[in-house]
Amino acid sequence: MGYDRDLSFVYFGPTKIVFGAGTSRDVDIEMAGLGCRKALVVTDPGVMKAGLVEGVREALGERCAGVWSDVPQDTGIGVVNSAAAFAREKGVDCVVSVGGGSVIDTGKGICILLMEGGGLENFEGIQLLTRPQTPHIVIPTTAGTGSEVTCMAVILDERKGQKMLIVEYFNAPRIAILDPKMTERLPPLLTASTGMDAMTHAVEALQSLSREPIADGLAMQAIRLLHRDLPVCTENGADLAARGQTQLAATMAGWAFGNAMVGLVHAMAHSIGAIARVPHGIANGILLPHVMAFNRDDAAEGYAMVAEALGVREKGMDEREAAEAAITAIRSFLERIGHPLRLSEVGVTDEDIAKSAALSLSDGAIVNNPRPVLDEEEVIAVYRAAF
C-alpha cells in the first residue's frame, strides 16, 4: 500500500453508534446517558408526514420540549437562528435531529447557538470553538449523507446567496442512532441516489490526496456493503437487514470522507446542484464514473482498491487495469439500482454546464482531488461526458 513513509494525519470520529431495528425508541435512554433533560426534536415536513417523528417523540415522553419541523431542503442561517431561539424559549439542553443532511446540519447549527449564543453568521470558519457544544443525537432517515458522524455543516447564507461551511471538532454529534426502520419507506429512486451519495463518499475518500489507512479501511467496507445491499434495498425496501447494512455503510463512508475529504465529484455535484437544482445524491451518482475516468491515471491505486471492494479485481490485473474495471463496475452498478445515468435525464441544459464548471473551480472539495484541475475546460469536458 503506497502510503508515504512520513505519513502523518489526524483521525477524528468520536460519535457513539447505536444500531438495530427499533433502536430509535431508545433515544430517551441515550439522552439520559448524556445527562440531558430536555430535547428539541428537529425535523422537516416530509419526515413529519411520513410519521417518523411520532415514535421518537413518544419515546422521549416528557424529555421532549418541542418539535421544530420547518427545515427546508437546503437549510439556511435564518432557519437555524429561528430554531435556536425556539430552543432557548423551551430551555432545552439537547438536540435530537430526525431526518437527512439538511435536518442534521440544522441541528448542528442549533447546538452551537445554544452553547455560544448569537447568530450563526458569526461562526463562519474552521475550528473556532474552544469547548464541547450542546449534545446532539442524530437519527438519520436516509442512508447516504454521513453527516451523523462528521463535524461539518453546510448552511446557506441567505443574504449572500452562498453556502457557508462550518467545520468544528467540538460540534460532532455525540450519538447516531441507526434504526433501519427509519429508512424502510424510502422510495427506490431516493434509496438509490442517497446510496450513491455514500458510495461517492467512499470512492472519493480512497482517491483523496488526504487518504490514510483508517479512512481507507472504512471506505472499503462501505463499498462492499453498498455493493451487496443497496440493490436489495431498491428492489425490496422492506428488507430491514439490507437497509441496516446500507445505513452502516453510509456512516462508515461518512467517517472516511470526514477525515480524508472528497474531490471533484463533489465539487461538480455541488455546482450543478446550485445551478440546475439536481439533487446531490443523483448528481454524485451520475458524475462518479466520469470523474473516475478523468482521475484514473492519478488515482489508480485508490481505484484498484475500489475494484477489490467491488469484487472485480482479477488476478494478474495491474492497478490501471483494476481501476478501469472499477469504473466499468460503477457504471453497471448504477444501471442495476435504477439510478439515472445522464445529466440530460435530470433536467440539466447545455447552458447549465458552463456556469457549473466555473463554480466547480471554487468549491473546496476540489483541493483534495488527485488530479489537479487546471481550468474550466477540463471540468466542462467531464460534464459533457456525463451529459
Partner 1 sequence: MAKYNAMTQEWLDAWKQKIATSKEYKEIAKNWEGSVSIIVNPDPEKGIPEPIYVFTDYWHGDVLDFLICDKAKAESARFVMSGDYTRWKQVAKKEVDSTKALMQGKLKLKGDLTYVVRNIKTVNKVIDLLCEIETIWPDEA
Instruction: Please say whether the beta carbons of 141 and 98 come within 8 A.
Output: yes
Contacts of 132 (CB under 8 A, 6+ apart): 115, 170
Residue from 73, 162, 236, 332 in contact with partner 1 (CB under 8 A) = 162
Other beta carbons within 10 Å of 301: 18
Binding segment for partner 1 (CB under 8 A), chosen from 58-66, 277-285, 299-307, 363-371, is 363-371
For the CB of residue 318, give the shortest distance to partner 1 in the complex, in Å: 30
Show contacts with partner 1 in window 214-273 (CB under 8 A): 261
Stretch of 90-98, 126-134, 243-251, 305-313 contacting partner 1, by CB under 8 A? 126-134
Instruction: Please report, for residues 62, 74, 136, 169, 355, the alpha-carbon distance to residue 94 in angstroms, rounded to integers and kept in the order given.
Output: 13, 23, 6, 18, 41
Q: Contacting partner 1 (CB under 8 A), which of 29, 32, 126, 238?
A: 126
Q: Is 136 helix (H, G, I), strand (E, B) or coil?
A: strand
Does the protein bind partner 1 through residue 373 (CB under 8 A)?
no
Closer residue to partner 1 in complex, CB, 81/210? 210
CB 105 within 8 A of CB 155: yes
- Residue with Cβ nearer partner 1 (98 or 373): 373
Binding track over 96-125 against partner 1, x by CB under 8 A: ----------------------------xx
C-beta of 280: minimal distance to partner 1 in Å? Answer: 17
Q: From CA 281, how far away is CA 246, in angstroms rounded? A: 14
| Phi, psi of 303, deg, nearest 5 | -70, -30
Between 154 and 317, CB nearer to partner 1: 154
The nearer residue to partner 1, 160 or 342, going by C-beta atoms, is: 160
Backbone angles phi, psi at 165, to 5 degrees: -105, 130
The answer to the question of residue 159 lying near partner 1 (CB under 8 A) is: no
Interface with partner 1 includes 358 (CB under 8 A)? no
Euclidean distance between CA atoms 368 and 209, whole angstroms? 5
**Binding to partner 1 by residue 14, rule CB under 8 A?**
no
Report the C-alpha gap between 375 and 361 in whole angstroms. 8
Is 81 one of the binding residues for partner 1 (CB under 8 A)?
no
169 part of the interface to partner 1, by CB under 8 A? yes
- Cell of residue 347, nine digits: 433536467
Cell of 327: 469504473
Burial class of residue 29 (count of CB atoms within 10 Å of its CB; 0-12, 13-18, 19+): exposed
| Shortest reach from residue 74's CB to partner 1, in Å | 15
128 binds partner 1 (CB under 8 A): yes
Binding flag, residue 33, partner 1 (CB under 8 A): no
DSSP characters for 266-327?
Answer: HHHHHHHHHHH---HHHHHHHHHHHHHHHHGGGSHHHHHHHHHHHT---TT--HHHHHHHHH
If the CB atoms of residues 127 and 344 are measured against partner 1, the closer one turns out to be 127
Nearer to partner 1, 210 or 221 (CB): 210
**Shortest CB 126 distance to partner 1, Å:** 4
Candidates 26-34, 242-250, 358-366, 376-384; binding stretch for partner 1 (CB under 8 A): 358-366
- Where helices occur in the chain by DSSP H, the ranges are 27-33, 45-49, 52-60, 77-90, 101-116, 188-207, 213-235, 240-260, 264-276, 280-295, 300-310, 319-336, 350-360, 376-386
Site for partner 1, rule CB under 8 A: 9-10, 12, 124-128, 162-165, 167, 169, 210, 261, 361-364, 366-367
